[in-house]
Structure 1
């Protein structure tokens, strides 16, 4: 079992606050859909916001959570969605699976042995299936907010590629996302020492800045971003 560091209460408060960033979430939902196949599993579903967005696109969808308290809340929230199976998932594990893909957003940065965690995700997915990830980018943006929510690292494309390759995965897509978000996050959390919770800053960014950023990045991939988006394949 991997210990996820940080204050679980603070993590839950941040998750609840960021749930209001609807445009941001839908952008990242769209990024993953082409790679998820017919029966994906999400690693680290949190409060279920992404699961609820993804599930309508598939006949079956599995949501997972490691934290027992959030698992209970997740099961309660998704109880009326019969297409979604909810289960506990701890990394690393020795389980083998036949899922079409594993998707995990903003989870890997919490885990000390991230390569072993990636191997565990790989073992859940059938050959040729995808591992789809989003992780926070750039170590200089590591802030008190990161530490409070249990982040042990932030990534670049290079360090993400190294971890995927060491885990025995074949990289298909790797790029930064949300360039303006990195600037805003650094100013808010490192300069002004704020937590990324619900409030006017999140709403203004999500409604006004995010759509412009998304449109621009669909034309030109930025050289930096708040997140790294990665797709890797399980070897045949």
Structure 2
């Protein structure tokens, strides 16, 4: 049904592996965050290099507050945001996303083989049965439909931050590529991104988690880590990360980084 804010809402609420305050915490930092900004530019470059073959909208599944969807829409892509969390869906509507569905893909009732393209941006790691989930995504896509994916990289970087975020795992680029291939997709492009970050993440998150000194999470710490005030560290990272966008535009995969970025096509006969 369509609620008073213009959000399509499923009648049945979904169980989420996501922090209750997660959408609000992200919404408070996204616009000023070097991390969210760079991920957006990587996703945009990926989709421009591998645009939906069959035309029609990109369904941003688990699209949260609409930060990615907004950037794609600014660049002429039609986007439908599908977000089961009510707070995230309302934030996306406030951000100006025209088509917002507050539901899972299952409760939304999408027809099989109907969607032209799906975005899964830091979503799969929140799904306990990632194989079955990706099979269900494959079943929703048209012939030659595409999926665009980001996930956190490297099991070695696992920390209490992953637990707090509701992650079930981190992936190597090879692992997420094999996962997609095993569930009916052909890999078009696969690369690491955020090349400067693995060592800082290991030092600031993984090591404290191992030795039992992991700090708690609050919005002030989140803001500091995301460079909310655009300080010198954030500016330095922006400069270091700029070459990654050019690599993606020219389809040059990168061999190391803190996240994985993949474009894949629904295979024939799957």
TM over 0.5: yes
Match of 1:13 in 2: 25
Larger radius of gyration: 2
Deviations along 1:142-185, one digit per CA (max 9) or x if unpaired, are 11111101011000122102211221111111121111122222
Any gaps of 5 or more consecutive residues in structure 1? none
Q: 2:173 aligns with which of 144, 157, 161?
A: 157
Distance 1:72 1:209, change over 3 A: closer
TM-align CA RMSD: 2.7
Distance 1:190 1:5, change over 3 A: same
Q: Distance in 1 between matches of 2:49 and 2:238?
A: 21
1:35 aligns with 2:50: yes
Secondary structure of the corresponding residue to residue 162 of structure 1: helix
1:182 aligns with 2:214: no
Alpha-carbon contact 2:113-2:140 (below 8 Å) kept: yes
Match of 2:144 in 1: 128
Query: Please, what TM-score do these two structures have when normalized by structure 2?
Result: 0.75
1:50 aligns with 2:68: yes
Match of 2:133 in 1: 117
Distance 1:201 1:6, change over 3 A: closer
Match of 1:214 in 2: 242
Alpha-carbon contact 1:170-1:235 (below 8 Å) kept: yes
Q: Distance in 2 between matches of 1:18 and 1:76?
A: 14
Deviations along 1:163-218, one digit per CA (max 9) or x if unpaired, are 11221111111121111122222223224545571126624444221332331674
Count the aligned residue pairs. 232
Q: Quick check: 123-132 or 180-189, which moved more?
A: 180-189
1:198 aligns with 2:210: no
1:227 aligns with 2:259: yes
Any gaps of 5 or more consecutive residues in structure 2? 1-12, 209-213
Alpha-carbon contact 1:100-1:129 (below 8 Å) kept: yes
Alpha-carbon contact 1:36-1:100 (below 8 Å) kept: no
- How far is the alpha carbon of 1:52 from its aligned partner? 0.7
